């Protein structure tokens, strides 16, 4: 992923640099902290953010079909402010990974995540995106949390539209609990020098087989 | 039994091995050294005219004594007849067989897939690269029987190598120059594509 960070497009974007806007935000945060006015402002900002989430769908498998059902008229997640689906990372708030993620797509989803402006959240939809699911093999990422940070995991194979809607509502709840003063929430976490998001031991631990696949050995 | 088998025996003699009929389909084993000749004859001879190559694939059996087979599915569109050819290779030696791309242009990607998954090298193939796995994939050939299901590297190393792969390097220079869009790419991207990322990722196990 090094080449992505080196490329002008991303290195020059507001995501990776302290801008004048950030300075302004930190002043406002200091004032809010002093005056104790952060609570009503938090409420207003969080309500605005939660109720106008623009999803960036990253559909790779059958979960994407359920995602489309969720977006269509019967379930209609426009009711929860997700009216506009942004098929462009630059104009989106929440990345919804719907479906299995092969290793070949890992740099792609990481680049999409890096290109999304703050604030941003990630929903991992379905068993494969969350854990690798039934694909405990050489080609599949064992949970997208080894690649990008995840806010809400929606279980199911695939989850019903109600399941995804419940996940979205959970994300609303999470957003409404955020604080403007806590600037760490909006920090970018680019891949470190090892080229990984997490320490290697952590990734190995997350990727451990579970369920039926414990009966298969690595060497088998 | 498909009458083409006897016709093949008449022309190529010992290069044609045993033939099996299974559920109405004929499978004939042929000598890999004379594959191109046999294929050309089957395609161009009147009365045979197997003009359509349906699929190229390979099989490796769990029994280590059994050879690895490369399988060709032929069909004659005008005669509506199928014929299946198999070529046997020793899985412990180099897997080399002639490419049939000069006869069927459509064999290009099919042979690339067999190369990607089994490591069979098709001599004379115009562009023999991996097609499903990315080009820096260093763990081997996934559908071989000695390949562990979860791959050879640790999961962390797999994630690291995957994240280091350049998603823009999946196209060959030929594909891009045909597309004409190549000249319109930014300089740095053209440079990166020209270099390719075909070698190992630095610091690999």
**Which chain A positions have a beta carbon within 8 Å of B161's beta carbon?**
103
| ipTM of the modeled complex | 0.76
Q: How far apart are CA B200 and CA B205, in angstroms?
A: 10
**Which chain B positions have a beta carbon within 8 Å of A138's beta carbon?**
139, 142, 147-151, 158
B190 vs A1 pLDDT, higher one: B190
**Which chain A positions have a beta carbon within 8 Å of B160's beta carbon?**
194-196, 200
The residue among A51, A49, A69 whose CA lies nearest residue A156 is: A69
DSSP one-letter code for A102 = B
**Which chain A positions have a beta carbon within 8 Å of B154's beta carbon?**
200, 204
Check CB contact under 8 Å for A204 and B156: yes
Cβ-Cβ contacts under 8 Å for A121 (sequence gap 6 or more): A53, A93, A94, A95, A151, A152, A171, A174, A175
CB burial of residue B54 (10 Å; 0-12, 13-18, 19+): middle
Residue A67 has pLDDT above 90, yes or no: yes
> Which residue is closest to A3 within chain B, CA to CA?
B166
pLDDT digits (tens, 9 = 90+) for A85-109: 888 888 899 999 999 999 989 988 9
**Which chain A positions have a beta carbon within 8 Å of B148's beta carbon?**
138, 218-220
Chain centroid offset of residue A127 CA: 15
Q: Mean per-residue pLDDT for A164-188?
A: 87
A4 vs A118 pLDDT, higher one: A118
pLDDT at A15: 47
A58 is written with which tokens?
A: 């990253």
Domain ranges in chain A are 2-215
Residue A140, phi-psi category: left (phi > 0), alpha (psi -120 to 50), beta (remainder): beta
The residue among B103, B101, B111, B33 whose CA lies nearest residue B70 is: B111
HSE value, Cβ hemisphere, 13 Å, CA-based, for A76: 4
DSSP one-letter code for A140 = B
Which of the four pLDDT bands, split at 50, 70 and 90, describes residue A160? very high
* Shortest Cα–Cα distance, B17 to chain A (Å): 34
pLDDT at A220: 47
pLDDT digits (tens, 9 = 90+) for B85-97: 999 998 888 899 9
Helix axis angle for A62-71 and A161-176, nearest 10°, is 70
Name the E strands within chain A.
Answer: 55-59, 94-98, 121-125, 152-154
Domain ranges in chain B are 4-152, 166-200
Q: How far apart are CA A60 and CA A99, in angstroms?
A: 5
Which of the four pLDDT bands, split at 50, 70 and 90, describes residue A23? confident
Q: Mean per-residue pLDDT for B128-135?
A: 85
Q: State whether CATH 3.30.460.80 applies to domain B4-152.
A: yes
pLDDT at A97: 93
pTM of the model: 0.78
* Shortest Cα–Cα distance, A3 to chain B (Å): 8
Check CB contact under 8 Å for A216 and B149: yes
Check CB contact under 8 Å for B163 and A147: yes
How is domain A2-215 classified at the architecture level of CATH? Answer: 3-Layer(aba) Sandwich (3.40)
Pairing mode, if any, of strands B25-30 and B16-22?
antiparallel
pLDDT at B180: 66
Q: How far apart are CA A204 and CA A200, in angstroms?
A: 6
A20 is written with which tokens?
A: 């004048």
Residue A6 has pLDDT above 60, yes or no: no
pLDDT at A8: 40
pLDDT at B13: 86
Which of the four pLDDT bands, split at 50, 70 and 90, describes residue B202? low
* Shortest Cα–Cα distance, A139 to chain B (Å): 8
A56 vs A6 pLDDT, higher one: A56
């Amino acid at each position: 992923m090094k080449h992505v960070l080196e490329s002008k497009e991303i290195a020059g974007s507001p995501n990776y640099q302290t801008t004048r806007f950030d300075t302004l935000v930190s002043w406002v945060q200091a004032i809010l902290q002093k005056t104790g006015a952060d609570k009503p402002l938090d409420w207003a900002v969080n309500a605005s953010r939660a109720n106008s989430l623009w999803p960036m769908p990253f559909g790779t498998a059958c979960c994407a079909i359920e995602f489309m059902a969720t977006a269509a008229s019967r379930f209609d997640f426009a009711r929860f402010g997700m009216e506009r689906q942004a098929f462009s990372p630059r104009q989106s708030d929440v990345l919804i990974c719907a479906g299995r993620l092969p290793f070949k797509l890992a740099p792609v989803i990481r680049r999409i995540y890096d290109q999304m402006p703050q604030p941003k959240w990630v929903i991992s939809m379905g068993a494969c995106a969350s854990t690798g699911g039934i694909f405990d093999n050489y080609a599949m990422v064992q949970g997208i949390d080894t690649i990008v940070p995840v806010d809400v995991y929606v279980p199911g194979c695939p989850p019903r539209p109600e399941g995804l809607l419940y996940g979205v509502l959970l994300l609303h709840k999470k957003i409404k609990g955020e604080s403007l003063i806590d600037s760490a929430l909006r920090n970018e976490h680019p891949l470190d020098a090892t080229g990984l998001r997490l320490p290697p031991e952590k990734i190995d631990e997350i990727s451990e087989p579970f369920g039926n696949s414990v009966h298969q050995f690595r060497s088998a | 039994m498909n009458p083409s088998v006897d016709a093949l025996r008449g022309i190529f003699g010992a290069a044609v091995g045993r033939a099996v009929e299974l559920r109405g389909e004929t499978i004939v084993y042929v000598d890999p050294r004379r594959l191109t000749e046999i294929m050309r004859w089957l395609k161009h001879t009147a009365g045979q005219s197997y003009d359509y190559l349906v699929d190229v694939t390979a099989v490796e059996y769990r029994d280590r004594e059994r050879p690895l087979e490369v399988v060709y599915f032929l069909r004659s569109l005008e005669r509506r007849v199928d014929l299946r050819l198999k070529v046997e290779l020793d899985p412990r030696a180099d897997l080399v067989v002639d490419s049939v791309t000069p006869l069927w242009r459509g064999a290009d990607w099919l042979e690339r897939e067999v190369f990607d998954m089994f490591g069979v090298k098709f001599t004379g193939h115009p562009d023999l690269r991996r097609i499903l796995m990315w080009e820096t994939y260093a763990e081997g050939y996934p559908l071989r029987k000695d390949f562990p299901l979860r791959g050879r590297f640790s999961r962390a190393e797999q994630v690291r190598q995957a994240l280091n792969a350049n998603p823009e390097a999946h196209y060959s220079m030929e594909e891009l120059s045909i597309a004409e869009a190549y000249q319109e790419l930014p300089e740095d991207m053209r440079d990166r594509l020209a270099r390719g990322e075909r070698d190992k990722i630095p610091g690999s196990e």
